Structure 1
Amino acid sequence: MPSVPSVPPARRPPIRTAPGRSATSRALSALDAFDDGHRTLTLSAIARRAGLPVATAHRLVGELCGARLLHRRPDGRYEVGARVWQLGLLAPPTSLREAALPHLQDLVITTGRTVHLAVLEGPRALIVERLASSRTQSTRHSPGGYLPLHCTAVGKVLLAHAPPALCAEALRAPARYTDWTVTDPAVIRRQLAAIRAAGFAQTSQEHRRGTWSAAMPVTGPSGVVAALSVLAPLTAPRRADALSPLAAAAAALSATVLDLDLDGMTGEPAS
């Protein structure tokens, strides 16, 4: 079977400017110039990645530094400021992460595998937390990163319970990541129906060669708010033994989040 070109990890694309954009939109474009691969940037790099004139970028960056949303380092480069972190702590995924950490730690110890907790954010899965032990499968994905919905276990669980419109958007043109990625929307829809019936999802080498993953939903008062998964190499023995502790962790976390305000992270059941 012919090899498939590797697809880079999904990252939030920088917002590009357009004539007549508001000051707020331009400021957000400057902040969006930063991502996991660009943690520090020069002023000219911010302007280029944000699609801003250098003079506009200079003014906006100065204002963002004054508000502690950006920080100017001694070497003249800029990085995200501490105030962004402080504001981020108020977001629902942070509350979910704090509630989930003990359960994720127990799951890592019990299974010896990498675990992911992810939530739905548009047509992608946002990684809220990732934990691993010294003998688990390595992963490129860190908290704050994104995973595709159609070919990862956490993504399939979230997609199975997503609103119909979002599901349609995610399946409009599914990307191929490996030779085993399922890209036929009709086949994926049948998988999603099976996931809703079974209560869990499994994938094998669909997003990354040599790996297997399983995921289960985390439910709140209004429905599915997150997906919890374990990741293992295909060569690992007794992979299916992770399903029982995964189910216990998902159930325990679901009980824990009942008192959290996570309504903004809940999708309507798919039809």
Structure 2
Amino acid sequence: MAGNSRQSGRSVTERALSVLTAFGPDAHRLSLTEIARRAEIPLATAHRLVGELENWGALQRESDGRYAIGLRLWELGLLAPVHTCLRGVAMPHMQQLHERTGANVQLAVRDGLQAVYVEKLTGRRSTPIISRSGGRLPLHTTGVGKVLLAHASREVVQEYCAHHLSRHTPYTIVEPGRLVRELGGIRRRGFAWTTEEMTLGSCSVAVPVCSGGEVVAALGLVVDSARAEVAKLVRPLSRAAESVGDRLVETTRTTAEVE
């Protein structure tokens, strides 16, 4: 009865969204039964909603009968400001950083209590990393995440420290007081770094991207921890982030004038 009651309290929109969010990094292709299970809806409801979403183009049916996210959603996603504005402005500077350092270059924003990776650049000789464009990682284990958390409100930091300090390696900071002190240091010196806190063997350095006096994103580099020279990485990283921020201000001003 409790399950039926819960289902009856969910709107059609909520159920349709639950179908879409059944897909994820670990579930690119799903059967109808898997969608129903992951979305926590009856199989008959899943069948109806999947059919409607497929007709609209949000889902596509593969030759083996499984479903995947459709091109229509991808097209809509490209219209998001984080892609059309932030990513577009940052990409030339990210490419220059990658060419100059040979390191992985990452651009991230904060969404609630997670870091969302807007874009990343990597190469054959770059250190292997687990982040992916459009993916999410914890804020306290990565350079870009620490920058974003350091510039979040006190309430966000308190909530994060109370419920989200998961350990990923032996070096992950999971003590609230220690993390809060580190966030204060990040704000004072203007950059963050991590050493093997998310992935063993990797070091990340990151700086804030500011526009209109606010931190809107974080730009970071990930290198092999054995050859990390933080001071040498911070200088080009800071210049690139400043250029991205200046360009964002210009783009915003131009857009406002046109409107």
Counterpart position of 1:4: none
From the superposition, tell whether residues 185 and 260 of structure 1 become closer, same or farther in structure 2 (CA, over 3 Å): farther
Counterpart position of 1:27: 16
Please list every run of 5 or more consecutive structure 2 residues that lacks an aligned counterpart in the other structure. 1-5, 253-259
Equivalent position to 1:81, from 55, 70, 78: 70
SS of residue matched to 1:40? coil
Identical positions, percent: 44
Counterparts of 2:150 and 2:73, CA distance in 1 = 32
Counterpart position of 1:41: 30
- 1:254 matched to 2:245? The reply is yes
Contact 1:182–1:206 (Cα < 8 Å) also in 2: yes
- 1:67 matched to 2:64? The reply is no
Equivalent position to 2:225, from 234, 244, 247: 234
- 1:213 matched to 2:204? The reply is yes
Please list every run of 5 or more consecutive structure 1 residues that lacks an aligned counterpart in the other structure. 1-16, 262-271
Counterpart position of 2:103: 113
Q: Root-mean-square deviation (CA), in Å? A: 1.4
Give, in angstroms, the shift of residue 31 of structure 1.
Answer: 0.1
Q: Which amino acid aligns with 1:182?
A: I
Give, in angstroms, the shift of residue 66 of structure 1.
Answer: 1.4
Which region of structure 1 is more displaced relative to structure 2, 25-34 or 163-172?
163-172
* Poorly superposed stretches of 4+, deviation over 4 Å: none
Counterparts of 2:8 and 2:211, CA distance in 1 = 42
Counterpart position of 2:119: 129
- 1:142 matched to 2:132? The reply is yes
From the superposition, tell whether residues 229 and 260 of structure 1 become closer, same or farther in structure 2 (CA, over 3 Å): same
Contact 2:205–2:230 (Cα < 8 Å) also in 1: no
TM-score (normalised: structure 1): 0.87
Q: Which amino acid aligns with 1:197?
A: R
Q: Which amino acid aligns with 2:9?
A: G
Equivalent position to 1:180, from 162, 171, 196: 171
Structure whose residues are more often helix by fraction = 2
SS of residue matched to 1:178? coil
Counterpart position of 1:101: 91
Contact 1:232–1:239 (Cα < 8 Å) also in 2: no
Counterparts of 1:221 and 1:33, CA distance in 2 = 37
Counterpart position of 2:214: 223
TM-score (normalised: structure 2): 0.91
Which region of structure 1 is more displaced relative to structure 2, 172-181 or 233-242?
233-242
Contact 2:7–2:41 (Cα < 8 Å) also in 1: no
Q: Which has the higher contact order (CA 8 A, sep 6+)?
A: 1
